[in-house]
Amino acid sequence: MLLCAKLYMELMEPESEQWEKANKQEWLQKGLQQGLQQGIQGTVNVLKRCGHGEVEIREIVIEQFNLSVEEAEGYLKA
């Protein structure tokens, strides 16, 4: 029984490593995306508090973060 388990682990290890690497990559990508979204929203909030108008804020975040008009509008509404 122990030999079978050891053999199974040896056979599955490369596949398991590939899954783990892909999983880490996915989590990293999600984390980066979430961090970027929080950064954009924070920028919008600070600009609002500083008295900038929505048109100006939209132009700034579009330019700074390479967003579409629709994406920028989403951050302004949040």
* Segments making up each domain of the chain, as ranges: 41-78
Strand, coil or helix: what is 66? coil
- The reported pLDDT for the residue numbered 20 is 76
- The reported pLDDT for the residue numbered 3 is 65
Torsion-angle region of residue 52: left (phi > 0), alpha (psi -120 to 50) or beta? Answer: beta
Please list the ranges in the chain whose pLDDT falls under 50. none
CA–CA gap between residue 60 and residue 38 (Å, rounded): 16
- The reported pLDDT for the residue numbered 74 is 96
- The reported pLDDT for the residue numbered 1 is 57
Contact 41, 78 (CB under 8 A): yes
Q: How many residues does the chain have?
A: 78
Contact 37, 71 (CB under 8 A): no
- The reported pLDDT for the residue numbered 12 is 67
